Chains A and B, each alone.
Chain A
Amino acid sequence: MAQEQDPFIVLSPQPEFFPQGGVLAPRLETLRGKTIAFLDNNKLQPHNRYFALLGHLLQEREGVKTIIHAQKPFFTRPAREEVLKPLMTQADAVLTGVGE
């Protein structure tokens, strides 16, 4: 009679935990009357036109009160405190992204 073999155990190479506090900010119930900021990574010129158009549409269609445009100094460098601080204190939401 064949004996049942013990399983072969390996350990997961994947992370078991992630940074504390990495939770989503409270969602806005409405965009009406809000201040929305764009953080451009300064990678491509078309970003400027895209964010300008998006800001215009958000104001026209969604009633957004104010649009703030901010820009990283360069796409390979992290945004500095002086760039981020006004966004943290003045904006209700910030749109940003990576890539092109």
Chain B
Amino acid sequence: MLKPLTSTEIPVDDPVAAIELFMERGWTDGLPIVPPTPALVRRMVGDYDPQEFIGYIPPTYGGATLEKLAINAVMAGCKPAYLPVIIAGVKAMLTETFNLHGVQSTTHMSTPAFVVNGPIARALNINSKAGCLGSGFRANATIGRALRLVMMNLGGGIPGETDKATFGHPGKYAYLWAENEEESPWEPFHVERGFRAEDSTITAYSCEPPHNINNHAERDPFQILYGIAGAMKGTGHNNFYVMGDTMVVLCPEHAVSIAEHNWRKRDVKYYLWEKARQPLRELKYNGMYGAEYKKNFWPRWVDRNNEETLAPIVRMPDDILVFVAGGKGRHSVFIPGWGTRAVTQKIEV
């Protein structure tokens, strides 16, 4: 027998009144929602137990049950088949190393981005190819939006109130794509992290918007990656000061050119880690500490008493997360992190 839904019922005149009410109460991201009627929520929950407890969402620590995730998924416009991805995405954000409390309340613009790997990405048509970081794809847009609504409605991440972001960024509407495993010359990201190829996963990573790196000229890995390292070397983003993880998403054409020279993904990481560095004299007026730059979170081997010492963008080569995604064209992207760890969670279907 199906377990009952227990969320507070709100009577309104009609669907339009529901949309307006949710706007007035600050329960949306600023866009109209699909009214979460009991029938739609029941359809979203399916065979799951609606009272299954997922966790408390910081910073206000509202209790997230599966029913509450389903309500927010309906509001976002999701199909019921998307719900397992949302559940796993929320679990990924709730691990301690992700520090969702900090992500949701910082003055920095960062927001969780999500990358889906494995067969579920193809089954749900989560776009990994042309335009995958943009608009126009239901799964990308609505799963990403549902995760944002969960952060707002259950976690209290309200812009200008608990969410203290000076700017925020457009990824706060939705920020989700899949890895282009079919066109990648290397093992998928989740396999690199110890999952089986037939597993499906979601990786949560708190970050800035993507920065485009245009390189139509080169086919040689040194030259392609030198340009990418150049973009990564920009001062002011958090990684140079806080470390944590950072991310590069290679377009298939760049990745294939690199792999044709027998470079593995690990070679890419080592090269970028070696080249994406800045002398302390270039870093010392930015970040949290400015002239007191010695407090920055660099590895011990960075000699803070020598301004010519080169600080790496992150502590270790493996802290550079490398994905392959996107369509035709020779543009890759660098996505600076907030300074914490990306978390990969298995999607249970």
Interface residues of A (CB under 8 A from B): 5, 7-19, 22, 42-45, 74-78, 98-100
Asked if B62 is an interface residue, CB under 8 A from chain A, the answer is yes
Besides the known contacts A11-B10, A17-B62, 8 further A-B residue pairs in the complex with CB atoms under 8 A apart: A8-B14, A12-B8, A13-B27, A13-B68, A15-B68, A15-B153, A76-B338, A76-B339
Contact A76 to B340, CB < 8 A, known contacts A8-B11, A13-B27, A19-B56:
yes
Give every chain A residue within 8 A of B99 (Cβ-Cβ). 76-78
| Consensus secondary structure, chain B interface | mixed
Are B63 and A8 in contact (CB-based, < 8 A)?
Answer: no
Contact A9 to B9, CB < 8 A, known contacts A76-B340, A98-B105:
yes
Give every chain A residue within 8 A of B340 (Cβ-Cβ). 76
Q: Which 8 A-B pairs have the closest CB atoms?
A: A15-B62, A7-B11, A12-B8, A11-B7, A13-B153, A17-B63, A76-B339, A13-B71
Give every chain A residue within 8 A of B8 (Cβ-Cβ). 11-12, 14, 16
Asked if B322 is an interface residue, CB under 8 A from chain A, the answer is no
Nearest opposing residue in chain B for A77, CB measure: B99
Give every chain B residue within 8 A of A42 (Cβ-Cβ). 295
Q: Mark B112-124, 1 if CB is under 8 A from A, else 0.
A: 0000000000000
**Distance between Cα atoms of A9 and B71 in the complex (Å):** 13
Asked if B228 is an interface residue, CB under 8 A from chain A, the answer is no
Asked if B107 is an interface residue, CB under 8 A from chain A, the answer is yes
**Distance between Cα atoms of A45 and B288 in the complex (Å):** 9
Give every chain A residue within 8 A of B17 (Cβ-Cβ). 8
| Consensus secondary structure, chain A interface | loop
**Distance between Cα atoms of A11 and B70 in the complex (Å):** 10
Among B30-38, B129-137, B194-202, the stretch in contact with A? B30-38
Are B12 and A7 in contact (CB-based, < 8 A)?
Answer: yes
Give the residue among A7, A11, A44, A98 with the most B Cβ atoms within 10 A.
A11
Are B288 and A16 in contact (CB-based, < 8 A)?
Answer: no
Nearest opposing residue in chain B for A22, CB measure: B61
Are B6 and A14 in contact (CB-based, < 8 A)?
Answer: no
Asked if B248 is an interface residue, CB under 8 A from chain A, the answer is no
**Distance between Cα atoms of A99 and B63 in the complex (Å):** 24
Give every chain A residue within 8 A of B338 (Cβ-Cβ). 76
Contact A74 to B242, CB < 8 A, known contacts A8-B15, A19-B56:
yes
**Distance between Cα atoms of A3 and B185 in the complex (Å):** 66
Give every chain B residue within 8 A of A74 (Cβ-Cβ). 242, 297
Shortest Cβ gap from A84 to chain B (Å)? 14
Give every chain B residue within 8 A of A8 (Cβ-Cβ). 11-15, 17-18, 35, 37
Nearest opposing residue in chain B for A99, CB measure: B164
Q: List 13 A-B contacts (CB under 8 A).
A: A8-B12, A8-B18, A10-B22, A10-B35, A11-B5, A11-B36, A13-B36, A13-B71, A15-B62, A15-B63, A15-B64, A16-B65, A78-B96
Asked if B260 is an interface residue, CB under 8 A from chain A, the answer is no
Asked if B244 is an interface residue, CB under 8 A from chain A, the answer is yes
Are A11 and B164 in contact (CB-based, < 8 A)?
Answer: no
Contact A100 to B107, CB < 8 A, known contacts A12-B71, A18-B63, A43-B288:
yes
